[in-house]
A and B are shown apart, each in its own frame.
Chain A
């Protein structure tokens, strides 16, 4: 059975290859025909989805074997002296899960885009980029070595740039695209350094080889170097996820990335690209495990901080997409600190469930935006449930899922994260996570109540979106409802996706209850404020005007960055400019001056004046004479001119 599965796994490379082929076809062949472009793209991604499902089933059927022996196929790509890089695919439960999630969300988004992007001039370009992104992301999750992963990582970043700035005639879109790319680049710099360190130390970037090296040789200090060295590598590698997965302080690009079309936000900035950082940490978990505990504690602390930081900003935002963006940041923080407290399983589980309900909510928000002709302020919406039942229902399912209400998917994953946090000895992080859960429920329900409940605004003429948009919503809602049940069976999610030894842990119902209560409290508070209006939101704002301003302006982080850039970097620029003008130019000009000066001096030998020539001539005669007379060191002798002879 495993052997047959193994044969199936050999074809895993097709999964990213098909969307890439679709990208090429759209870019070069079908650009003019809108219908052909989207058909090709959707066909490709659906085929990849089927393959991913097949592989997923194959993994499940392989049982424990696939966990111990992942199916790895490697092809030697680059072989120069000192550098050997392979390209390959790895199929293990983690990559299979990621393949499924990415392919599902990507196909749902592409189908949804048929309705959302209707009438847009750049239709073919959009689908080309979508295909390219799907190919890159799928390629990333089956990469066998860090360099291959990094190549796809960068490609994914490129697609993000292209798709954020899709409506390039808008200045804000262009700026947002640049901001996204540059901010993630800062993180990628650290990642590159980490890769260099790893390669220098271990001579390989292959995950399996690195894991083996770290595991077996950990006692041997000479091979690995000190724990500190490994910690440095871990920190550097983690810088990539800080940028890509929007941890503080490199989170600033994600809210601005909402300038792109909503399906793009759903796909890239909710479900797939931003989790690339989390995925990387999960893949390289052996590195963090062998580093000093400070590394994992840092990840945990940063993740928890990001979670509560973003959640606090979200409660004061008015743009529907921005609320969702900060919600994504907050959930990414959850995933990170889950990794930090030592539970790879919980983190990956939450990654999966979050992909479902966050993509769902983004697509539903897109449905609302289109219905209201591109209005995005929630205070201009209201009472939409009557006119848009499918959108409203699915969105509500998403809200319940993210709030951690059982039996929806978010409950299982969030509960597992919090349970692990407490059990592994991080009570503060547990408390932060719990409070953030309360905040999450609050702001999501605030969003839902304001947009879908209450009185309708007269100027909004809405109707439900077409089937191309509502069917993906329903499919994703299905997974948001039932996706959490993979935690239940004997061979549950944890059985397949884990790090180190597997212990079958029973679900801690007590802690689960506490987190449910926190979620319900949040929902209740939102209900009280926004539905019954028993507590007036304006009064609360009036009592804490400073805090409200701080939250609404995202803690002024963007302004701080701009100040830093203008003052520090411009100052540095001035110093370097001075350096360039005086030192570099000085050297170059100095060379020219030397040439000119020596020319001026040497010119005097060629005056054309015979007397000068004669002088030099005679001087040379004297010199030659001196050489001959005293050359043999006969200066001491009384007769140094014996060589000149005498007269007999």
Chain B
């Protein structure tokens, strides 16, 4: 059962990712992105990372994708249907990324130490355990992340507001 689900949503994610990078219409790309994120969220659930799946949905599909759509709106020029053209050297790019994939694939597939079967997880959510880790062992990165977000917020506002020409 879980295998079937996995395959459906894995293929969904990958197909959506394919759509992101090949669509000529940038709005379509943005929407495909949101779809891919959602697929990945399901994969998280399958990996017993329910908290993370919720975070993924909230932040990625809920905030990041919307921000991307906003940015698309603000920087759109010309026809929407042609707003995401290919590069001149797309073939080289395809080649390199294929090579990278082959490389990673080699590593993955030739390593005999991966466990095929994982023992089933006993019940229990992960939020509790996650928060424990965050507030004890990874306290400092947690606070740092908070600071980062604040600064990013401020910075984005300043950047987006623009600078007036000083007289």
Are A and B in contact, CB atoms below 8 Å, in the complex? yes
Taking beta carbons and an 8 Å cutoff, which residues of A are in contact with B?
Answer: 611-612, 615, 618-619, 621-622, 625-626, 629, 638-641, 644, 646-648
Chain A residues, CB < 8 A from B100: 618, 621-622
Does the CB pair B103–A626 fall under 8 Å? Answer: yes
Chain B residues, CB < 8 A from A629: 106
Chain A residues, CB < 8 A from B103: 622, 625-626
* Closest-CB distance, A436 to chain B (whole angstroms): 91
Chain A residues, CB < 8 A from B111: 639, 641, 644, 646-647
CA distance A593 to B121 in the complex (A): 69
Does the CB pair B110–A611 fall under 8 Å? Answer: no
Chain B residues, CB < 8 A from A646: 111-114
Chain A residues, CB < 8 A from B113: 646-648
What are 9 inter-chain pairs, A to B, with CB distance below 8 A?
A: A615-B96, A618-B96, A618-B100, A619-B96, A622-B99, A625-B103, A629-B106, A640-B110, A641-B107
Residues of chain B in range 60-93 having any CB-CB distance to chain A below 8 Å: 87, 89, 92-93
CA distance A640 to B103 in the complex (A): 12
Minimum CB distance partner of A612 in chain B:
B89
Residues of chain B in range 107-155 having any CB-CB distance to chain A below 8 Å: 107, 110-115
Taking beta carbons and an 8 Å cutoff, which residues of B are in contact with A?
Answer: 87, 89, 92-93, 96-97, 99-100, 103, 106-107, 110-115
Does the CB pair A622–B96 fall under 8 Å? Answer: yes
CA distance A111 to B46 in the complex (A): 129
Chain A residues, CB < 8 A from B87: 611
Chain B residues, CB < 8 A from A611: 87, 89, 93
Does the CB pair A615–B89 fall under 8 Å? Answer: yes
CA distance A295 to B167 in the complex (A): 103
Chain A residues, CB < 8 A from B112: 639, 646
Minimum CB distance partner of B111 in chain A:
A646
Chain A residues, CB < 8 A from B114: 646-647
Minimum CB distance partner of B102 in chain A:
A622
Residues of B contacting A: mostly: helix
CA distance A618 to B96 in the complex (A): 7
Minimum CB distance partner of A639 in chain B:
B110
Chain A residues, CB < 8 A from B97: 618
Chain B residues, CB < 8 A from A639: 110-112
Query: Of the candidates A618, A625, A626, A641, which one forms a contact with B110 in the assembled complex, judged by CB atoms under 8 Å apart?
Result: A641
Chain B residues, CB < 8 A from A615: 89, 92-93, 96
* Closest-CB distance, B139 to chain A (whole angstroms): 28
Chain A residues, CB < 8 A from B89: 611-612, 615
Chain B residues, CB < 8 A from A619: 96, 99
* Closest-CB distance, B104 to chain A (whole angstroms): 9
* Closest-CB distance, A217 to chain B (whole angstroms): 77
CA distance A646 to B103 in the complex (A): 16
CA distance A618 to B87 in the complex (A): 17
* Closest-CB distance, B83 to chain A (whole angstroms): 17
CA distance A428 to B96 in the complex (A): 94
Minimum CB distance partner of A604 in chain B:
B89
CA distance A638 to B89 in the complex (A): 36
Minimum CB distance partner of B108 in chain A:
A641
CA distance A526 to B106 in the complex (A): 116
CA distance A615 to B89 in the complex (A): 10
Given contacts A622-B103, A646-B113, A647-B115, 10 further A-B contacts (CB under 8 A): A615-B89, A622-B99, A622-B100, A625-B103, A639-B110, A641-B110, A641-B111, A644-B107, A644-B111, A648-B113
CA distance A615 to B113 in the complex (A): 31
Does the CB pair A641–B106 fall under 8 Å? Answer: yes
Minimum CB distance partner of B114 in chain A:
A647
* Closest-CB distance, B26 to chain A (whole angstroms): 17
CA distance A146 to B80 in the complex (A): 95
* Closest-CB distance, B167 to chain A (whole angstroms): 33
Minimum CB distance partner of B92 in chain A:
A615
CA distance A644 to B99 in the complex (A): 18
> Which 4 residue pairs spanning A and B have beta carbons closest together?
A646-B113, A622-B99, A619-B96, A641-B110
A626, A641, A644 — most chain B CB neighbours (10 Å): A641
CA distance A625 to B103 in the complex (A): 8
* Closest-CB distance, B47 to chain A (whole angstroms): 16
CA distance A644 to B109 in the complex (A): 12
* Closest-CB distance, B108 to chain A (whole angstroms): 9
Minimum CB distance partner of A621 in chain B:
B100
CA distance A301 to B93 in the complex (A): 86
* Closest-CB distance, B99 to chain A (whole angstroms): 5
Chain A residues, CB < 8 A from B115: 647
* Closest-CB distance, A637 to chain B (whole angstroms): 10
